[in-house]
Amino acid sequence: MRRGLLLHFVLGTLFGIVLTKTQVISWFRIQEMFRFQSFHMYGVLGSAVLVAGVTRRLVRHSVSVLCGDLDDGTLGPPPGERTRFWAGGTLFGLGWALTGACPGPLFALVGGGVGVMWVAITAALAGTWAYGYLRPRLPH
């Protein structure tokens, strides 16, 4: 357990280094992407998807790779959901363009010394909490 957590911490550290060195945490790079003015972010995402798609087959695993909620499957999404993906995705994309950071980069940015991003993380927590509150009334 402890050793497993330590390895996850090390992996997270490497992830933060890669996100930063590849400038995925740069607001400017995100702007280039949404303005279709540079290949950089498309190259990052495309090659990440390609490598993940090939290498995940090399590892024996039993976890469902369906994008849902928690990976132990306890609160996974019921089949047939559609609305949540485009509606939630669009709201997320709007936030991504404004902050220039998705959740991973938000955390790398505070480590990188952009202290004001703690406010963005707090706001993101408030957003996740608000979703939890409104969940019974939202279409999925």
Partner 1 sequence: MTLPEIIRAPWPWYVGGPLIGLMVPALLWLGNHRFGMSPALRHLCAATVPGNLTFFQYDWKRSGLWNLTLTAGTVLGGFIATRSFAWTDIAISPATQASLATLGVHDFTGLVPREIFSWASLFTLRGIISVVVGGFLVGFGTAWAGGCTSGHGVTGMASLQPASFIAVLGFFAGGLLGTFLVLPLIS
CB of 58 to partner 1, least distance (A): 6
**In the 3-class helix/strand/coil scheme, how is 13-82 assigned residue by residue?**
HHHHHHHHHCCCCCHHHHHHHHCCCCCHHHHHHHHHHHHHHHHHHHCCCCCCCCCCCCCCCCCCCCCCCC
72 binds partner 1 (CB under 8 A): yes
116 binds partner 1 (CB under 8 A): yes
Among positions 77-96, residues that touch partner 1 (CB under 8 A) are: 77, 81-82, 84-96
69 binds partner 1 (CB under 8 A): yes
Question: How many Cα atoms within 13 Å fall on the side-chain side of residue 76?
Answer: 12
61 binds partner 1 (CB under 8 A): yes
67 binds partner 1 (CB under 8 A): yes
CB of 49 to partner 1, least distance (A): 5
